[in-house]
Chain A
């Protein structure tokens, strides 16, 4: 009922707040905005790390356009790097999940081709946490 009263007379609500209350509300909003900014950023990746089987095959910069031909367990796969993004462009696997995942550009994103045992992971300058190896 109190809440309804406030909705009916918004002016009462304003009267209820003191200058310090406003200060705290505004500071909290700024703080929350900053929290969203710093904790929810999708940092753009700068490198891509390619693994074949258990081993890291190579790490490439995302700045240079290139096509990487790899030999996996099933056959040959192609990974493309272009304009800060990377993807599987060809894979010999049946499901083609890795190819359908498309272009990856954010740090921490991963494309894994299980049948062919090739995976790529996007890295930022600073290593973000990952939920895969935890």
Chain B
């Protein structure tokens, strides 16, 4: 029997490596207890943001979506509500990142993108919760808390990413 061979490009390998990084961070975060269900630092998004600046939007989208699928399989949450929330959050924040990456880089750095993505992430999740899991107006009560958490963690993740990228993103701004 002939073994099946899938041709992989250098890009695929890179995506796999970066996704592995993001998955590792996601696993790390899964062990940290949260004061409020749903409030999480989202440190895996540092990888998404870093990849966005270093390798472009498509790679970042691949890494983010692969991370959601693989992490849910590892944690035994595949197709569970947690997975659906995670996926909808990731899709929303990728949408915002696509738009925000077009902002002039001279004025908007990784911190802006991180904060906006964090808001989009929580918005995507809360919309899903409202429509599907808890179809009740009381969900609105939680919105301010989640928004505050999103701002804080978005800020921290953005600063970390900005440090990790060193001055690479400033060069991008100058080339623009």
Contacts and interface: CB of A to CB of B under 8 A. Distances in A.
Interface of B: 103-104, 106-109, 111-112, 115-116, 119, 136-138, 140-141, 143-144, 147-148, 151, 155-156, 158-160, 162-164
Contacts of A129: 136-138
A55 interface: no
Given A35-B143, A40-B141, A25 B109 contact: no
Contact of B151 (A6, A20, A32): A32
Contacts of A28: 115, 119, 147, 151
Nearest to B109: A18
B145 to A, nearest CB: 9
* Main DSSP-derived SS at the B contact region: helix
A17 B159 CA distance: 8
B159 A6 contact: yes
Q: Which of B103, B112, B116, B141 has the most CB of A within 10 A?
A: B112
A65 B119 CA distance: 47
A125 interface: no
Interface of A: 2-3, 5-6, 13, 16-21, 23-25, 28-29, 31-32, 35-36, 39-40, 129, 131, 134
Contacts of A3: 156, 159-160
A40 B109 contact: no
A112 B2 CA distance: 76
A40 B144 contact: yes
Given A19-B107, A20-B104, A20-B112, 14 more contacts: A2-B159, A3-B160, A18-B109, A20-B103, A20-B107, A21-B109, A24-B111, A25-B155, A32-B147, A35-B143, A35-B147, A39-B143, A39-B144, A134-B138
